[in-house]
Amino acid sequence: MKMSKDIWIHLSYVALIALIVLPGSSLSKEVVINTMIDFESPASPTHDQAIQVFNSMTNLTNIIDTRGLNATIFASGDVATSQRIFVTNMGQGQNHELALNGNTKDEKLSSMPYSKQLDLLTTANKIISVCHICGSKIVPVQGFRPQSFDQNNDTFKILDSLGFLYDAGFKAGILYQPGHKNDTWPYPIEGHNLYAVPVSTYNSSGERVYLSDRYAKEEKGFSGSKWYDLLIGKFDEAAIKGDPMVVIFNNLISGSGDYLDAYKDFVNYATSKNAKFVTTMELINITKVKNATGTLPALSGVKPSVCPTCGQKNESKGSLAIGVTITHQGNCTECNKSSANVTKPS
């Protein structure tokens, strides 16, 4: 059967479009990456465990800090208690945002009555909120992610009452609020003063998995190289679709071995593609601008409206709270204070 000239032309256009949208094409979009680093530590670490915690957390943060990349550090109440100086040091980094990861590892909030949840989360919030340099201005912890992604409507009410602004206990297309199955960007939780932040998911061998190294290693049994392939696959997909990439790295998983190699190689790959690493709060602010204007704001060189170290407002005109550098118009006395020092356990 012969095809007409018009059909051949049509098929040629289809083939051309298919080539254009392949990963790595000139039409790939700038990828926004929200790196969430889970700070995990035993409640009462032994000497060897303390060294492991120090080394693993330092390995993860050094890779982003030396490149000036932003990240959100999640710590539980237990970790903030046992590693207070270290958590303080992590939270004081200008490119770090400190957020709460519940109170105790693997706790199940949804099984608790409202009163118990309220007591637990209020206590955990107080513990992590005192992780600051004495005499300096406190920057309120604004973000939360429940252990094991376990929570309920009572959790949202309590987070509202405590002044939290976002809840990252969601997985794109897997665990979501009604009507938001397809959302990959943060979205408001109806009836609350919170934004839901979906952790990214990716189709791996016909199964949708969420981007958590702990989940990948302990539940899926992925090797470091398999985890790396999943990260790169999601990055390339995000570049085509214009989605953000929200990924969780646990210090006791990605802080050493082949998972550390995967983490380092992923950061190198993403930076080579000019990805923008942002904190979770910055991701939400970017989302607000995107929703209001229909386009992503320019991300390079934009100054935040509040210093993440001291909380002082940035008076620079026309700035958006989504950037990576701090430039105060006046003299920021709080930022000139000495920071907490952490010494490696000997």
Quick one: average pLDDT of 248-273?
A: 98
Query: What confidence score (pLDDT) does residue 174 get?
Result: 98
| Averaged pLDDT, 54-68 | 95
CA angle centred on 182, ends 299 and 281, rounded to 5°: 35
Q: What is the mean pLDDT of the chain?
A: 82
342 pLDDT tier (thresholds 50, 70, 90):
low
Distance CA 237, CA 228 (A): 14
Mean pLDDT: which of 40-54, 152-166, 285-299 is highest? 152-166
Provide mean pLDDT across the span 138-158: 93
Residue 160: partners with Cβ closer than 8 Å, 6 or more residues away? 192, 193, 194
Residue-level pLDDT at 307:
44
Cβ count within 10 A of residue 317: 6
Q: Which residue has the tokens 């189709």?
A: 203
- Answer whether residue 329 shows pLDDT above 90: no
- Say which residues have a Cβ less than 8 Å from residue 86's Cβ, sequence separation at least 6: 39, 53, 54, 57, 342
DSSP code at position 109 = G
With a pLDDT cut of 70, the percent of the chain lying above it is 76
Grade residue 133 by pLDDT with cuts at 50, 70 and 90.
low
Least confident of 41-55, 119-133, 145-159: 119-133
For the cut 70, the answer to whether the pLDDT of residue 134 exceeds it is no
| Pairing state between β 201-204 and 207-210 | antiparallel
Judge whether residue 9 has pLDDT over 80: no
Indicate the pLDDT class of residue 325, thresholds 50, 70 and 90.
very low
Instruction: Write down the H helix ranges in 163-223.
Output: 213-214
Pairwise CA distance, residues 188 & 193, whole Å: 7
Alpha carbons 155 and 101: distance in angstroms, whole number: 13
13: exposed, middle or buried (Cβ count in 10 Å: 0-12, 13-18, 19+): exposed
Q: What is the pLDDT of residues 94-118, one digit of tens each?
A: 899 999 999 999 999 999 999 999 9
Determine which of 3-7, 166-170, 191-195 has the lowest per-residue pLDDT on average. Answer: 3-7
> What percent of the chain is modeled with pLDDT above 90?
65
10 pLDDT band, cuts 50/70/90, is very low
List the end-to-end C-alpha distance of the chain, in Å, as a whole number. 80
Q: What does the pLDDT read at residue 15?
A: 37
Per-residue pLDDT reduced to its tens digit, 237-257:
999 999 999 999 999 999 999
In angstroms, rounded to a whole number, what is the distance separating the alpha carbons of residues 128 and 109?
18
The amino acid at residue 256 is S
- Structural domains of the chain, ranges and CATH numbers in brackets: 32-326 (3.20.20.370)
Q: What is the pLDDT of residues 282-323, one digit of tens each?
A: 999 999 999 998 887 766 543 343 444 444 443 333 333 333
Both tokens assigned to 19 = 């080539």
Query: How much is the pLDDT for 297?
Result: 77
Confidence band of 7 (pLDDT split at 50, 70, 90): very low
pLDDT at res. 29: 77
* Core vs surface per residue 44-81: b (16+ CB within 10 A) or e: ebeeeebebbbebbbbbbebbbeeebbbbbbbbbbbbb
Instruction: Please give the pLDDT value at position 294.
Output: 84
pLDDT at 136: 53
Residue type, 182: N
70-99 tens-digit pLDDT: 999 999 999 998 888 888 888 878 899 999
* More confident of the two residues 263 and 27: 263
